[in-house]
Structure 1
Amino acid sequence: MPIPSREEMYSALEERHGTELQKKLDSASVAVCGLGGLGSNIAIALARAGVGYLHIIDFDRVDISNLNRQQYFPEQLGEPKSEAMKDTLERLAPYCHIKADNIKLSEDNIPALLSDADIIVEAFDKADQKAMLVNCVLENMPDKYLVSGSGMAGIAPSNIITTKRITKRFYLCGDGVSDVDDGMGLVSSRVLICAGHQAHAVIRIIAGEFDI
């Protein structure tokens, strides 16, 4: 069966979200940095919502240990995550413009690589990488909105995962406490909840709803 036309898919989203919001989503540009448990789920949520432009970035490859919480298929094992996720997103949202980079972000390349995004999503696994991206964006790209994740490990109650507005353009999602090295590690359901918070924060920013 042929896929629906762009007009048909846009109309279906517009019916759900309303004309004004869907127009804003279609015009938005979001960079998702890291395509693991957080980033793969965030990217899928944003693509399904009708965000018009997604820039997805990761330097890693799909490993069997990823399959418990990350949005990859067993047949994608060994593929670069950026390419595997691009394939999945193109199936889910064929009219979303997706740019995929298989590259490791650093203080040197972040300003140029992320310059095309209205909103930057930090979705790394490691604390030092998270801090590096957040600090680099806050110091060098003050006009960008930034949504970061911190604390989603283990099986603690889901309701302690929250979204907080730290500064005018910086939002932080998670419990702010749990760490992957402190106990059970990352469980799919709790990672998904935090990813949902980040994706929803992005959608609210696009909608012009800044008080989260």
Structure 2
Amino acid sequence: MNTPTRDEINKIMDIRFSEDIHNKLKSAKVGIAGLGGLGSNIAAMLARSGVGNLHIVDFDKVDLSNLNRQNYYIDHLGMYKTQAAAKILKSINPYLNITYETTKIDENNASDIFKDIDIICEAFDNAENKAMLINSLLTTYKDKKIVSGSGMAGYGSSNLIKTTKKMKNLYICGDGVSDINEGMGLMSPRVSICAGHQANMVIRLILGENEV
């Protein structure tokens, strides 16, 4: 099958959402910090929703343990997650403007990596790294919005996962409690539900909806 033209894809998006909504989504710039279970799924959801500019960042490679919940496949094993995710996203929308950095985010580079981004999804596994990114960005920038994930382990009730506005520019998605421990790992359904909350909050922010 021939690759659809840009105009064909835009026309479908305009029909699906309305031209005004699609234009806002197309012009938005969203960053994703971490491309594991949350980030890889968030990126795919945003690409399918018409968000036009994604900046994705991770330092890790795809391994077999990732396939139970992350948006990768056997063919991607051994690839850097940034490269694998970019390939997948381009297969969803070949006209997506996607940039990536294969690097580890820390307190020294976080603010520079996302300096040109309006909304950032925090999608790390580690609580300390989550806090580092949030603190670095909120301290440096007054207007950037952060959508973070916290609490999605196991197979507890889907209804416990929710989106909460913690402060003016910080939104937290998850149940806020469940974490990885012995006998309680990360499973695709709850991770995907939390990723969906994050992606939906990003879309709401793009469209001017600042409440959850």
Give TM-score scaled by structure 1 length.
0.98
Superposed CA RMSD? 0.8
SS in 2 for 1:67: helix
Could you list the runs of 5+ residues in structure 1 that have no partner in the other structure? none
Matches within 5 A, 1:150-189: 150-181=150-181, 183-189=183-189
Q: Deviations over 1:143-193 (max 9, x none)?
A: 101000000001110001000111111110000000012642101000000
Aligned to 1:211: 211
Between the aligned partners of 1:189 and 1:35, the Cα distance in structure 2 is 17
Q: Deviations over 1:117-149 (max 9, x none)?
A: 110110001111111111111111221010000
SS in 2 for 1:43: helix
SS in 2 for 1:95: coil
Aligned to 1:105: 105
Aligned to 1:137: 137
SS in 2 for 1:210: coil
Letter in 1 for 2:187: V
Matches within 5 A, 1:1-212: 1-181=1-181, 183-212=183-212
Q: Deviations over 1:187-206 (max 9, x none)?
A: 10000000000000000000
Could you list the runs of 5+ residues in structure 2 that have no partner in the other structure? none
SS in 2 for 1:47: helix
Give TM-score scaled by structure 2 length.
0.98
Letter in 2 for 1:100: Y
Q: Percent identity?
A: 52
SS in 1 for 2:68: coil
